[in-house]
Amino acid sequence: MPLALEGFRVIDLPPASQELLDSYENLPVDEYMGHGTRFKRFAQYRLEPPTTGESAWSFKRLPQRDYTTYLKFNSVGGGIRRVYEPVEVDFTPLIALGIEAIGLDPSEPWQINLHQNRTRAEGGRPGPLTPEGVHHDGHEFVMIAVLRRNNVGGGQMRLWHPGADEPFWTGTLESGQAVVFDDRGFTHDVTDVESADGSPGHRDIIIVAFSRWREKWYGDEHDSAALADA
C-alpha cells in the first residue's frame, strides 16, 4: 500500500508561517474534550485528484457542519454533535505534503476532516491528548502535524498493532514534524503534555483524517449513522 510495509512515516515540514502560528492564539475552548485544556477549530474538504497533466490535488472547502464521530471510535466524544468554529487559515500546503507522503490513491476523490488543536498544560495540570485511550480514528489514513511545542514535555505518540500489549513504535513529534499512518491497520494514542517548568505551555497541531468520498464523514447520512451508534 502507499505507506509501504511499515504503514507509517514521519516527515519534516517547512517552518510554519507566522500567520498559521498566530491563528492558534484565538482558538475557542473545546467544550467536549480536554476539560478546559483543549482549544479547537474544525473544517472539512473534498479532495479532487490531479487531472491529466497536473500533479496537484485540488481542495474544495465544504460548508461548515457539526462534527460527528462514532462512539465505537471515540468513547468520550462519539455519538454526539460537536459544534466547532471554522478554521480561519489555509493549512492545505501542509496537507498536500501529507498526501504525497501517503501516496493517496488518485483514482477517486477523497474527503478530509481538519482539526486545528491547541492543548495547554501548566504546573500540576497536564493536558490530555487522547482521553479516549488507544484507538482508531475510523478513517483510512491520518496525518498528525506538530507546528509548535512551547514549554511542554510529554506528547509521546505510540502506534499499536490491534490487540497488542505493547506499542511497536513510540516517538515524540517535534515542532515541524508530522506522522502519517494507516488508521485501519494500527491503533494509536498520545501521552499527556506537561509543563516543562511549571508555567503554562502548549502544543499546537493539526490532525487530518482521510476518507474516500464514497465513505465520506460528511452529510446527513453520515451524521445519522454516527448519532445512532450512541
Confidence of residue 13 (pLDDT cuts 50, 70, 90): very high
Measured distance CA(154)–CA(91) in Å, rounded: 25
What is the greatest pairwise CA distance in the chain?
A: 56
| C-alpha cell read off for 105 | 490513491
- Classify residue 3: in a domain, yes or no: no
- Classify residue 105: in a domain, yes or no: yes
* Residue-averaged pLDDT of the chain: 94
Question: How does pLDDT run across 18-65, given as a tens digit for each residue?
Answer: 999 999 999 999 999 988 999 999 999 999 999 877 779 999 999 999
pTM for this predicted structure: 0.95
Measured distance CA(193)–CA(154) in Å, rounded: 5
Structural domain total, the chain: 1
8 residue type, one letter? F
Residue 90 C-beta-side C-alpha neighbours within 13 Å: 5
Give the CATH number for residue 43: 2.60.120.620
- Classify residue 2: in a domain, yes or no: no
| C-alpha cell read off for 18 | 507566522
- Classify residue 80: in a domain, yes or no: yes
Q: What is the phi/psi pair of residue 227, to 5°? A: -75, -35
Q: Where are the alpha helices (DSSP H) in 2-136?
A: 18-22, 92-102
- Classify residue 174: in a domain, yes or no: yes
- Classify residue 101: in a domain, yes or no: yes
- Classify residue 1: in a domain, yes or no: no
**Residue 103 pLDDT > 70, yes or no?**
yes
- Classify residue 199: in a domain, yes or no: yes
Is residue 6 a contact partner of residue 77, using CB atoms and an 8 Å limit? Answer: no
Range of the domain at 210: 8-228
